Structure 1
Amino acid sequence: MKQQLQTMLALQDEINTLVNDNWRAQNFAWYRAIWVESAELLDHYGWKWWKKQEPDMDQVKLELVDIWHFGLSLELQQGSPEQVAEHMLEELGAGRCSAGDFRTNLETFTLNTLASRQFDLVGFTQLLADAEMAFDELYQRYVGKNVLNRFRQDNGYKDGTYVKNWSGREDNEHLAEIAGELNTSAADYSDQVYRALQERYRDLAVA
């Protein structure tokens, strides 16, 4: 887990730096982004008592990964990926393991994040348990989304030249296929994902 955590922290530092060289000094409102993502997550899980709703757990997990991106950014405000990893490992170990009431736990997590303007890592661990999302799955989904974000930036996302649909399918769908074909335990997993995206983009999107 420690190596995976350090890898994710390093990747988050890289993507933040790609977007803004001096991102640590900007004091971006990462906690606010977590608040907004939490509301989107609740919509995917379902909360309306006046209509039938079934949790869309794939979308719930995607939103948890987006929250994780912002949470890692908050943690990285405190130091280097190596330093932060030690602290995060302790917090992850303190998290509860049994599933509970997802909506209530999400509200508690969001309130704690807003009140402290920090990442409630223990609360997030509870949400992972509620969603039956193992740390390995979080790692796989995070690395894939992070690499896709970097790939988009490298291919004109900011200036509007990036093509998001490849042969009639969104890049997220291609990412899911690619991630399912690779070994997530490989040391160069993120590099493999990037290369595979590059090949598909060249062959499909710009054909």
Structure 2
Amino acid sequence: MQTQLQTMLALQDQINTLVNDDWRAQNFPWYRAIWVESAELLEHYGWKWWKKQQPELDQVKLELVDIWHFGLSLELQRGVPEQVAKQMQAELKAGQCAAGDFRENLEKFTLNTLASKQFDLAGFAQLLADVEMAFDELYRRYVGKNVLNRFRQDNGYKDGSYVKNWQGREDNEHLAEIAADLDTGADDYSEQLYSALQSRYRETTAATS
């Protein structure tokens, strides 16, 4: 787990730096982003008692990954990635327990986040348990989303030149297909994923130009 945490922290630092070179000094309200994402997460899970709602679990997991991005950003401000990873691992393990009431646990997590303006790792671990999302799945989903975000930035996302749909499919579909053929346990998993994505994108755009 610690190696995976260090990898994710490094990737988050890279994408934050890509957006703003001096991001650590900006004191962005990451906790506020977590709060807003938590509300979106609850919408996908369902909370209305006056109508039938089934949890959209895949969307719920995607929102948890988005929250994880902001949480990692907060954690990176605590120190160097190696030491932060150790602290995170301990807090995540302390938060591991049986599944409970997801809505109530999400409210506790959000309240703790707003009160402390920090990332409630133990509370987040509980949310993962509630939706039966293993840490390995969180890692796989996070790395995929991070690589896609970085790839988009590198290929003209800011100036509008990036082409999101290739061969009738969105880029995230291509990403999922590529990821299925790679070993997520490889030390250079994110680099392999980025390289394969870049190669496929270039082939597609070259064929249409």
Q: Which runs of 5+ in 2 are unaligned?
A: none
- Provide the residue aligned with 1:19 in structure 2: 19
Residue correspondences, number: 207
Question: What amino acid sits opposite 2:202 in the alignment?
Answer: R
Deviations 1:68-98 (A, max 9, x none): 0000000001112112111111101111321
TM-score (norm 2): 0.96
- Provide the residue aligned with 1:63 in structure 2: 63
Deviations 1:126-168 (A, max 9, x none): 0000010000000000001001111011001111111111122
2:169 and 2:40 map into 1 onto residues whose CA distance is 23
1:34 and 1:60 map into 2 onto residues whose CA distance is 14
* Counterpart contact for 1:165–1:205, Cα < 8 Å: no
- Provide the residue aligned with 2:49 in structure 1: 49
Question: What amino acid sits opposite 1:189 in the alignment?
Answer: Y
Question: What amino acid sits opposite 1:75 in the alignment?
Answer: E
Question: What amino acid sits opposite 2:128 in the alignment?
Answer: L
1:205 and 1:144 map into 2 onto residues whose CA distance is 21
Deviations 1:26-74 (A, max 9, x none): 0001001101111111111111112211111111111100000000000
- Provide the residue aligned with 2:77 in structure 1: 77
Worse-matched range after superposition: 157-166 or 130-139: 157-166
Q: Give % identity.
A: 80
- Provide the residue aligned with 1:148 in structure 2: 148
Root mean square deviation of aligned Cα:
1.0
Q: CA deviation at 1:173?
A: 1.5
Q: Please state whether the residue corresponding to 1:181 is helix, strand or coil.
A: coil
Q: CA deviation at 1:205?
A: 4.6
- Provide the residue aligned with 1:87 in structure 2: 87
